[in-house]
């Protein structure tokens, strides 16, 4: 691929990733403002609806990319995402906003899988660490800037721009896709290829995912965990997921699931586990800053930078390390150790903890996440043939998105149930089971009498501590799972079927030359990436 075209292609991918992850996190510091503006309480659905839509059809995306080609699917995702974001910004009711967020999540999910697969088509795994570092940084910047931007827009009374803001980024990315994505289109009858997509597996996993997330979201918030309203979707979801795995391993001709070796399975387990504590902390730590420390939405977004802005530099370090040493286990192990340590320290925070601890402990978590976040693609793909990239990456992105929803839902359920137990009766809503107590109560804490205000601060701190201890246990699972990884060699070729075509600009560009090591200058990296050797293992 010609150097300039590769540069522009990568820029388009980075814009799309940034928009998707910015939109996922921007509402975390704006929830109470949005709830007040739309006169609604169930704001947790703003995060959950986005995540459900992002997640449910991700496995299908891999099949569609192989059947219809990379460019049309990527472009469709950008269009859907843009329409959803504009509709969200124009929403007049909470139901309207939740529906629009679902549409945005669907488009973002398509973008997430398509972008990863396109990168795999262009760059062999052995040289991908350098590029994954940049993508990881952009994702983490989107997650990091989101709360800060959301808080600032909320304080300014402009919460609708939390959604409008991504439209120009998506428009620029769409132009790049139209003009510079010169990737091969699959040959053959399109309807025959669509019939080859695993529709049954997709239906089972989409239905199971949605049902489980609904049950987890409702449990302890809208209804007791023992109620039929919660148990029914959880049972339906569990049965659907069991049926999905049975079908995939027994009857599916083109299975969505790639679980053929221990190292890939370890990578998938870690992918699922990692996003649960990260998203729970990202989503609910601003509540600690606002309810316990009395911070404004903008201030809470600034305090959260200790978590979100320690991720990018360690992501870069991890990518360069993997590219240089051709080994992925050490940064992943170190990352899990730091993440587990930081989460345990976070659980020790109480109403009297200093601001330094509330900022310093998340920084340790951020370093750990940065080392692991973009590294898990390598143990997943290293043992597999390059022809399996699309399906393997679809499952990778699916598990990451699915667990994001679990993090938000579990954190919300624990916080709600603990606040009901700990808050003074005088400040509880009439029907606490139907109200998102945290977001309804935060704007009123400053007006409470001193004795009640102190009791509320303690209740919030202690409730969040319970949530953090649960996240600590989950990080321990990820640490244990990481020790199952083998140290496989990483492929030095890409899938010829999807190798980029540049016409006259790229005559015999793959005949010789190689991607340089990560220590070389970036300009040299771009020049020689166009000469990737896709013919030699």
pLDDT bracket for residue 338 (50, 70, 90): very high
- Residues 510/534, Cβ–Cβ less than 8 Å: yes
Of 19-23, 126-130, 291-295, 313-317, the least confident: 126-130
Asked whether 113 and 60 are in contact (CB, 8 A), the reply is no
Is 513's pLDDT higher than 60? no
Contacts with 265 (C-beta within 8 Å, 6 or more apart), sequence order = 259, 484
The H-assigned helical ranges of 423-449 are: 437-441
Burial label, 447 (beta-carbon count in 10 A; 0-12, 13-18, 19+): exposed
Residues 6+ apart with CB under 8 A from 206: 56, 57, 59, 60
- Please count the other Cβ atoms lying within 10 Å of the Cβ belonging to residue 211: 20
**Sign of the CA dihedral with 91 first, then 94, 98, and 101 last:** positive
Q: Give the DSSP H/E element, type plus range, for residue 498.
A: none
Question: What digits encode the pLDDT tens for the residues 232-286?
Answer: 999 999 999 899 888 877 776 666 566 668 898 999 999 999 989 998 998 899 9
Tell me, what's the pLDDT at 361?
96
pLDDT at 532: 36
Q: Is the pLDDT of residue 416 over 90?
A: no
Write the pLDDT tens digit of every residue in 146-160: 878 888 888 888 889
150, 26 Cβ separation under 8 angstroms: yes
Specify the range with the lowest mean pLDDT, choosing from 117-126, 190-199, 242-251, 477-486: 190-199
Q: What is the pTM of this model?
A: 0.74
């Amino acid at each position: 691929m010609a150097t300039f075209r590769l540069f522009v292609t990568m820029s388009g991918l980075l814009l799309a990733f940034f928009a998707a992850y910015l939109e996922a996190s921007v509402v975390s510091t704006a929830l109470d403002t949005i709830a007040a503006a739309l006169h609604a309480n169930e704001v947790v659905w703003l995060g959950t609806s986005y995540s459900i839509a992002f997640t449910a059809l991700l496995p299908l995306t891999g099949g569609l990319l192989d059947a219809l080609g990379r460019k049309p699917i990527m472009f469709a995702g950008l269009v859907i995402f843009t329409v959803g974001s504009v509709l969200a910004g124009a929403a007049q009711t909470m139901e309207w906003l939740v529906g629009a967020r679902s549409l945005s999540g669907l488009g973002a999910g398509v973008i997430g899988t398509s972008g990863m697969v396109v990168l795999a088509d262009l760059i062999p795994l052995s040289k991908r660490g350098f590029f994954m570092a940049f993508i990881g940084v952009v994702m983490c910047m989107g997650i990091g800037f989101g709360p800060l931007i959301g808080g600032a827009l909320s304080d300014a009374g402009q919460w609708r721009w939390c959604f409008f803001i991504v439209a120009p980024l998506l428009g620029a990315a769409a132009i790049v896709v139209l003009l510079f994505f010169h990737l091969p289109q699959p040959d053959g009858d399109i309807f025959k290829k669509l019939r080859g997509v695993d529709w049954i597996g997709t239906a089972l996993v989409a239905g199971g995912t949605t049902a489980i997330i609904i049950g987890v979201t409702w449990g302890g918030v809208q209804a007791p965990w023992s109620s039929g309203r919660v148990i029914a979707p959880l049972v339906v979801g569990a049965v659907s997921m069991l049926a999905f795995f049975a079908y995939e391993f027994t009857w599916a001709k083109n299975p969505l699931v790639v679980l053929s070796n221990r190292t890939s399975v370890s990578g998938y387990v870690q992918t699922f586990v990692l996003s649960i504590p990260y998203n729970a902390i990202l989503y609910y730590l601003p509540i600690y800053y606002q309810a316990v420390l009395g911070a404004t939405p903008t201030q809470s977004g600034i305090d959260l930078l200790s978590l979100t802005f320690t991720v990018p530099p360690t992501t870069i370090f991890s990518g360069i390390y993997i590219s240089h040493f051709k080994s992925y286990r050490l940064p992943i192990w170190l990352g899990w150790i730091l993440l587990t340590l930081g989460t345990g320290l976070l659980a020790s925070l109480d109403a009297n903890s200093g601001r330094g601890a509330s900022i310093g402990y998340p920084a340790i978590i951020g370093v750990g996440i940065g080392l692991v976040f973009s590294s898990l693609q390598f143990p997943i793909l290293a043992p597999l043939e390059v022809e399996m990239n699309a399906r393997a990456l679809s499952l990778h992105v699916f598990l990451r998105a699915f667990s994001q929803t679990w993090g938000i839902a579990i954190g919300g359920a624990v916080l709600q149930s603990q606040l009901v137990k700990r808050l003074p009766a005088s400040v509880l809503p009439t029907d606490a089971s139907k109200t998102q107590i945290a977001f309804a109560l935060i704007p009123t804490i400053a007006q409470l009498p001193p004795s009640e205000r102190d009791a509320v601060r303690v209740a919030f701190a202690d409730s969040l501590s319970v949530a953090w201890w649960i996240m600590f246990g989950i990080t321990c699972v990820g640490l244990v799972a990481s020790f199952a990884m083998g140290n496989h060699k990483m492929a030095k070729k890409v899938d010829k079927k999807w190798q980029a075509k540049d016409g006259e600009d790229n005559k015999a560009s793959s005949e010789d030359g190689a991607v340089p090591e990560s220590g070389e200058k970036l300009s040299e990296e771009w020049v020689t990436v166009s000469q990737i050797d896709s013919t030699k293992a």
